[in-house]
Amino acid sequence: MPRVAPPDVDRAAAAHAAVAARRARAAVKKSVHDRERSPIDVVETAWADPTAALPEASLRVRELLTSIPSLGPTRVARIMERLDIADSKRVGGLGVRQRRRLLEWLRARENRAAEPVRARLVVLAGPTAVGKGAVSTYIRENYPGVHLSVSATTRPPRPGEIEGVNYFFVSDDEFDRLIETGQMLETATVHNAHRYGTPRAPIEHALAEGKSVLLEIDLQGARSVRRAMPEAVLVFLLPPSWEELVRRLIGRGTEDSVEQARRLETAKIELAAQDEFDYKVVNTEVGQAAREVVDLMAIPQT
C-alpha cells in the first residue's frame, strides 16, 4: 500500500506537541532537582489517572531518578537493575510489581535522608591522565563539606602548586621521619620515581568531626588503605574509552614521549585492577564525575 504522508499542518502540529511534551517533562525534572517536588509525588501523579497524557507518566524512570539531587548515572543504573526496570521504561509504563518496588525504594530513600549522615573515607584512584586531579580539585572548590587529604611527597613542586594545598613537599629524610614516627596511613613510590604518602592525623580528625574524607592516591595506596581501613569506600575513575585516555595523556603535554609510553603501560595494569574497587565512575565530564564521587559519601549537597 502506498504510504500517505500526513498533511503539512498535521505534521507541524505533531512537532509542536512533541516540543511541548518535552518541555513539560523537563519542568518536572527541574522541580525534582530543585527539591520543589518529591519524586514520590511525581510517580503518584503519573499513576493516579492512566487516561491522562501527563508529563509525569511519559518521563523515563531513569530520567526521574537522575534528576534527584545526589544521584548520578552510575548509581541510577545500579538501582534500576536492582528494581528490575529496563532502561527505556517510562513511569507510566511500569507494571504493578515494578511500581510497588519503585515506590518502596523511593520511600526508604526518603526515610534514610532524614537520618544523620555517617562520615566516610573515600579513596579515588584510576589510571594516569584519567582526570583524578581535576575531579578532586572540583570537589575541593565546590563541596566544602568534604575534607581533601593533602599528601606528602618527595617530588619538587610544579609551577603553581601550593605547599599545604596540593602537597606537603618534603625531603627524603623528612619522609623517612614521618614513616618512622607512625604518622603515615600509607606510602608508595609512584612511577618508580618519587615517594608519596597520606598523613594519618588530619584524616582521623576530620572523620571524628563527622566530615567525609577524600584521598586521591595511586593503586598501591588504595590497596594499602583497604588493608588498614576496610570500611573505606574505594572508587575507580575510568576514562570514557582507551582512545580518550591516550588523547588526554598526550594532550596535557607534561610528559615526553618515552614517559607517555611508560605511563600508558602502567595505565593498562591499573585498568586491570578496576574490579577490586567498590564503585566505578566514568569521567566524561568533570562536574558530573565529581558529583557521583561526592554522592558515594552520602554527604548533603552544598
Residue numbers at the binding site for ligand 5GP (CB under 6 A): 132, 151, 155, 186, 188, 190, 196-198, 216-218, 220-221
Residue 94 or 135: which CB sits closer to ligand 5GP?
Answer: 135
Nearer to ligand 5GP, 67 or 198 (CB): 198
- Pick the closer one to ligand 5GP by CB: 105 or 169: 169
Contact between residue 89 and residue 98 where contact means Cβ atoms under 8 Å apart: yes
Closer CB to ligand 5GP, 85 or 296, in the complex: 296
Burial of 168 (0-12, 13-18, 19+ CB in 10 A): middle
Crossing angle between the packed helical segments 39-48 and 8-33, to the nearest 10 degrees:
140
Which residue in the shown chain puts its C-beta closest to ligand 5GP? Answer: 221
Residue 235: Cβ-neighbour burial (10 angstroms; 0-12, 13-18, 19+)? buried
- Phi, psi at 31, each rounded to 5°: -65, -30
Instruction: Give DSSP secondary structure letters for 69-130.
Output: TT--HHHHHHHHHHHT--TT-BGGG--HHHHHHHHHHHHHHHHHHTSPPPP-EEEEE-STTS
Shortest distance (Å) from residue 183 CB to ligand 5GP: 12
CB of 121 to ligand 5GP, least distance (A): 13
Phi-psi region of 182 (alpha: psi -120 to 50; beta: other; left: phi over 0): left
In 3D space, the residue among 43, 89, 96 whose CA is nearest the CA of residue 68 turns out to be 43
CB 15, min distance to ligand 5GP, A: 50
Give the CA count within 13 Å in the CB-facing half-sphere of 83.
Answer: 26
CB of 182 to ligand 5GP, least distance (A): 16
CB nearer to ligand 5GP: pick between 218 and 292 = 218
206, 183 contact by CB (below 8 A):
no
By beta-carbon proximity to ligand 5GP, the closer residue of 76 and 152 is 152
Dihedral pair phi/psi, residue 72, rounded to 5°: -95, 170
Outline where DSSP puts E strands in 203-271.
212-216, 233-238
Q: Nearest approach, Cβ of 260 to ligand 5GP (angstroms)?
A: 13
Q: Measured from the CB of residue 186, what is the shortest distance to ligand 5GP in angstroms?
A: 6
* Shortest Å distance, C-beta 132 to ligand 5GP: 6
Q: Are 67 and 33 in contact (CB under 8 A)?
A: yes
User: For residue 234, which phi and psi values (nearest 5 degrees)?
Assistant: -100, 120
Q: Closer to ligand 5GP at the Cβ: 138 or 196? A: 196
Tell the smallest beta-carbon distance from residue 136 to ligand 5GP (Å): 9
- Partners of residue 282 on adjacent β-strands: 238
Which CB sits closer to ligand 5GP, 55 or 126? 126
